[in-house]
């Protein structure tokens, strides 16, 4: 049992993110706190100020965990990342997907622009952020424009091309007028580089200059100007604050660190995907007294990345044995270069320290519970193997489910449990391609055929190339397959396995009239299991997870289909042109009835795209 009183007593007096879970281990709420101790305790105190939602949530909390950060800003951004990833049930009020503001510099242009955006795309530009104080971002942008004579127009300016007349900004000293050819590309680039240094926090000359001006204004009794300069300095300090929760470089990186007590160790790993920390995992390694950290980390990397489907380009560790050998082995599996690095300074060093801090908290405060959970999982798997009379304990379990609404957008899902715990990195989704209508049996047949065909192909490739690692997404086969359904689904699975000459036991997970897990089907017989047993809890958890995973994928496909516009199908009309068309005409019908001249009068619509629009709707009406 989770000891709430003890865990509440030892909550740290630091900022961070807390994660609430229900009895099935599902994340039901993610929140951030300036002081974790104060915020989390509030949920478990009797208060009339609690909303109905909070009261309902508290009744469902079976355990909680937390991640300590270095600042409240980091906690806020990490909270946003985790909510987007897990979509917890009680975070309904945070479903607005509006992103944090970034400062964008279009360094891929000859005369770059500097502006605010909430959309980060891989277009070669430099992005700084995200920033939680939008007001400070706007103020800093205005300050940058006043200090540096950069252009604010949206023109596409090329050097040595026809020049125009400079605008008012040139005459009042706010722009060097590249549009009129008054500044060269290299001169303008040096100005932009200075802006980049300021936003990167590498240059303090601007702050020193403003401090000097503020001091002079104060001595001249110009207190309003001094206050204004003070606010600008604060804005610059805020905008240049380093935020380790997002790197802005779209990197896929893992950060690994370790903490030891007198007997055991905890390995903590943080996952960065597209530059954002999107999740973490931890592992208690028992009886490590006397072992070197570099050796433990080395063994962990061999084990963890040997069984996972995804390997990032860079892995950061505090120290490591056999670094060169590990890099080669990982590169063979990934089929591209993999680097294991030991950061010495900067935000990567700060991030690796944050990972160690969380490893320490996990080992000191959750060690007993983790070891108890491990024992419960081992007992459940042992009992399950005994019930099914298996030759070995089913350490790796794969479960499958099909989801559709009236036969539309049928999808399949595969979830993986290893040693009783969900292994999220090995989850897979399948969009049904060969089956039309609501035919769950044929859909499941397609899913299983694709899964094991891929697996056999990968195994053949590994054998032919004599690879050291299990290189692939599907080459690791399960010890047991669980189907979300009865005898029909089980027989489909057995049929597919027989066709590939694969021998894996298959069970069906059946539910009662109230849609609760009732028992399992094995060898065409229903085996009833005690509702309060560890085995039943494990099966219920697996069945709920595979169903949740299938439903979430189906909803994402459905939402994409709903958001699809007929304008998406027009050749030579991309996202920018679609937006301009809808902005000018207001509806698809008005775009359809627009003349050639009216289309050309639309921003970003050229002759080719205008003719393409007319031809498209002409063919549609035929």
Average pLDDT, the chain: 80
Structure confidence at residue 200 (pLDDT): 67
C-alpha of 575 from chain center: 24
Same domain, yes or no: 379 and 461: no
Same domain, yes or no: 163 and 81: no
Question: Can you list the residues of the chain whose pLDDT is less than 50?
Answer: 92-98, 132, 242-248, 468-470, 562-563, 622
Rounded Cα distance between 348 and 355, Å, is 11
Same domain, yes or no: 88 and 113: no
List phi, psi (to 5°) of 392: -140, 160
Rounded Cα distance between 618 and 622, Å, is 7
Same domain, yes or no: 403 and 527: yes
Structure confidence at residue 369 (pLDDT): 72
Domain CATH code at residue 345: 3.30.420
Which residue, 174, 127, 112, is CA-closest to 147? 174
Structure confidence at residue 246 (pLDDT): 45
Same domain, yes or no: 61 and 146: no
Going 81 to 83 to 87 to 92, the CA torsion angle's sign is negative
Same domain, yes or no: 364 and 422: no
Residue ending a domain, choose from 358, 387, 416: 387
Domain CATH code at residue 593: 1.10.150.20
Rounded Cα distance between 325 and 338, Å, is 11
Structure confidence at residue 327 (pLDDT): 87
Rounded Cα distance between 551 and 516, Å, is 17
C-alpha of 304 from chain center: 19
Residue 248 within any structural domain of the chain: no
Rounded Cα distance between 395 and 378, Å, is 9
> How many domains does the chain divide into?
5
Structure confidence at residue 257 (pLDDT): 95
Same domain, yes or no: 311 and 413: no
Residue 322 within any structural domain of the chain: yes
Where in the sequence is the domain holding 171, given as residue range(s)?
A: 102-239
Structure confidence at residue 364 (pLDDT): 80
Structure confidence at residue 620 (pLDDT): 62
Same domain, yes or no: 136 and 232: yes
Which residue, 282, 421, 284, is CA-closest to 358? 282
Residue 560 within any structural domain of the chain: no
Which residue in this structure is represented by tokens 């040997």? 306
For the chain, count helices (H), then strands (E). Answer: 19, 19
Residue ending a domain, choose from 239, 272, 292: 239
User: Quick check: 80 and 101 in contact, CB under 8 A?
Assistant: no
Residues forming a β-bridge with 65? 19
Total number of residues shown for the chain = 622
Residues forming a β-bridge with 411? 403, 431
Residue ending a domain, choose from 46, 61, 94: 94
Rounded Cα distance between 164 and 418, Å, is 66
User: Quick check: 446 and 433 in contact, CB under 8 A?
Assistant: yes
> Token pair of 94, please?
């945070």
Residue 404 within any structural domain of the chain: yes
For residue range 418-432, list pLDDT tens digits in order.
Answer: 888 888 778 888 888
Same domain, yes or no: 118 and 212: yes
For residue range 340-351, list pLDDT tens digits in order.
Answer: 999 998 888 888
Same domain, yes or no: 405 and 450: yes
Structure confidence at residue 527 (pLDDT): 87
Within 8 A by CB and 6+ apart from 464, the residues are none
């Amino acid at each position: 049992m989770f000891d709430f009183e003890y865990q509440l007593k030892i909550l740290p007096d630091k900022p961070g993110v807390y994660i609430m879970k229900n009895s099935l281990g599902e994340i039901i709420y993610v929140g951030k706190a300036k002081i974790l101790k104060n915020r989390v305790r509030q949920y478990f105190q009797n208060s009339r100020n609690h909303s109905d939602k909070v009261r309902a949530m508290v009744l469902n909390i079976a355990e909680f965990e937390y991640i300590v950060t270095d600042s409240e800003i980091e906690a806020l951004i990490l909270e946003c990342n985790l909510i987007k990833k897990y979509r917890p049930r009680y975070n309904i009020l945070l479903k607005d997907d509006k992103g944090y503001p970034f400062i964008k510099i279009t360094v891929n242009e000859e005369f770059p622009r500097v502006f605010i955006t909430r959309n980060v795309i891989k277009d070669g530009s430099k992005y700084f952020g995200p920033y939680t104080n939008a007001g400070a971002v706007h103020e800093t942008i205005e300050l940058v424009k006043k200090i540096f004579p950069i252009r604010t127009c949206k023109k596409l300016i090329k050097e040595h091309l026809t020049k125009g007349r400079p605008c008012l900004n040139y005459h009042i000293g706010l722009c060097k007028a590249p549009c009129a050819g008054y500044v060269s590309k290299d001169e303008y680039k040096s100005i932009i580089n200075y802006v980049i240094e300021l936003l990167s926090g590498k240059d303090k000359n601007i702050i020193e200059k403003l401090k000097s001006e503020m001091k002079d204004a104060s001595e001249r009794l110009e207190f309003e100007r001094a206050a204004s300069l003070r606010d600008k300095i604060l804005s610059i300090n805020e905008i240049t604050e380093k935020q380790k929760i997002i790197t802005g470089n779209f990197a896929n990186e893992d950060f690994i660190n370790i903490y030891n007590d007198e007997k055991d160790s905890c390995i903590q790993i943080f996952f960065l995907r597209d530059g954002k920390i999107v999740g973490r995992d931890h592992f208690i390694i028992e009886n490590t007294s006397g072992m070197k950290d570099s050796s433990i980390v080395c063994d962990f990397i061999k084990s963890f990345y040997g069984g996972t489907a995804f390997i990032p380009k860079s892995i950061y560790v505090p120290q490591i044995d056999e670094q060169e050998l590990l890099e080669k082995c990982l590169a063979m599996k990934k089929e591209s270069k993999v680097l294991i690095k030991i950061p010495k300074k900067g935000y990567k060093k700060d991030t690796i320290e944050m990972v160690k801090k969380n490893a320490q908290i996990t080992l000191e405060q959750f060690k007993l519970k983790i070891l108890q959970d491990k024992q419960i999982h081992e007992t459940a798997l042992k009992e399950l193997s005994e019930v099914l009379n298996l030759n070995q304990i089913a350490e790796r379990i794969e479960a499958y489910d099909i989801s559709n609404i009236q036969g539309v957008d049928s999808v399949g899902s595969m979830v993986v449990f290893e040693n009783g715990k969900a292994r999220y990195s090995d989850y897979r989704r399948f969009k049904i391609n060969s089956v039309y209508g609501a035919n769950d049996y044929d859909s499941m047949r397609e899913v299983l055929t694709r899964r094991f065909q891929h697996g056999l192909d990968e195994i053949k490739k590994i054998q032919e190339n004599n690879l050291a690692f299990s290189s692939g997404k599907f080459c690791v086969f399960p010890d047991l397959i669980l189907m979300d359904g009865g005898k029909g689904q089980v027989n489909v699975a057995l049929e597919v396995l027989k066709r590939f000459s694969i021998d894996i036991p298959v069970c069906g997970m059946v539910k009662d009239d109230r849609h609760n897990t009732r028992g399992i089907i094995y060898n065409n017989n229903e085996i009833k299991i005690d509702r309060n047993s560890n085995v039943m809890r494990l099966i219920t958890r697996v069945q709920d997870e595979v169903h949740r995973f299938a439903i979430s994928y189906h909803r994402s496909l459905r939402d994409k289909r709903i958001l699809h516009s007929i304008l998406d199908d027009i050749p030579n009309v991309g996202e920018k042109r679609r937006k301009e068309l809808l902005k000018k005409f207001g509806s698809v019908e008005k775009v359809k009835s627009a003349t050639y001249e009216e289309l050309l009068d639309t921003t970003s619509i050229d002759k080719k795209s205008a003719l393409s629009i007319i031809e498209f709707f002409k063919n549609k009406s035929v």
